[in-house]
């Protein structure tokens, strides 16, 4: 652990959906002086996300779903086009993303490739997201997808030409950070040529 950080107090503010804590700590600056900070940290667990791509048809699979935080922050419909994802729960990242892929898209993938991991909002959220890519084809389709009713998921599965999806970053139709990162990875690494 970091000797320049001393946790003084952790207060639970909410455990309604996930956990929101207020943490008070001492932080030693580079000049040796100590200061006391108080910050809130939202802990929702770690997650995984994936981009399914088809090299032959030059297509990708994304989802479209309502996201309340975007709606209350100016997204007029609240709908967001994004790569699908899920929380790890008790699974490792690879098992989680295989399960989420099948639940949300209806595609059963076995070979997934981890490409990196990232803190997505480190100023306030503890979550690390594990990023994956995998090829898909129509033979892998085992169900309609759309998510789980018991999790109140209403997910529209969309298949897009890769070039169209990539350009949607610049038209503002895709604003989700994880999706932008995955599409840029696919472009940089010529996954779909």
Q: Do residues 131 and 143 make contact, with C-beta atoms less than 8 angstroms apart?
A: no
For the stretch 106-139, pLDDT in tens is 999 989 999 999 999 999 999 999 999 999 999 9
The pLDDT, as a whole number, for residue 90 is 81
The Cα 76–Cα 184 span in angstroms is 26
Structure letter (DSSP) for residue 141: B
For the chain, the domains span 5-43, 47-188
Q: Do residues 154 and 67 make contact, with C-beta atoms less than 8 angstroms apart?
A: no
pTM across the whole model: 0.92
User: Could you tell me which CATH number the domain at 47-188 has?
Assistant: 3.90.79.10
The residues of the chain scoring below 70 in pLDDT are 146-153
The Cα 191–Cα 193 span in angstroms is 6
């Amino acid at each position: 652990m970091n000797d320049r950080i001393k946790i003084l107090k952790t207060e639970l503010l909410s455990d309604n959906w996930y956990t929101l804590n207020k943490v008070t700590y001492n932080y030693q600056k580079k000049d040796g002086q100590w200061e006391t900070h108080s910050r809130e940290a939202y802990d929702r667990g770690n997650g995984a996300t994936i981009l399914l791509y088809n090299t032959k048809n030059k297509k990708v699979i994304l989802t479209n779903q309502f996201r309340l935080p975007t709606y209350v922050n100016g997204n007029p419909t609240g709908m967001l086009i994004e790569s699908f994802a899920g929380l790890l729960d008790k699974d490792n990242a690879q098992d989680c993303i295989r399960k989420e892929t099948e639940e949300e898209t209806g595609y059963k993938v076995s070979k997934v490739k981890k490409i990196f991991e990232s803190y997505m909002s480190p100023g306030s959220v503890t979550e690390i997201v594990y990023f994956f890519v995998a090829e898909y084809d129509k033979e892998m389709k085992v169900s309609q997808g759309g998510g789980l009713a018991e999790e109140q998921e209403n997910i529209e599965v969309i298949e897009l030409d890769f070039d169209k999806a990539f350009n949607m970053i610049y038209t503002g139709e895709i604003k989700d950070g994880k999706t932008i990162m995955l599409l840029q990875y696919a472009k940089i690494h010529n996954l779909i040529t």
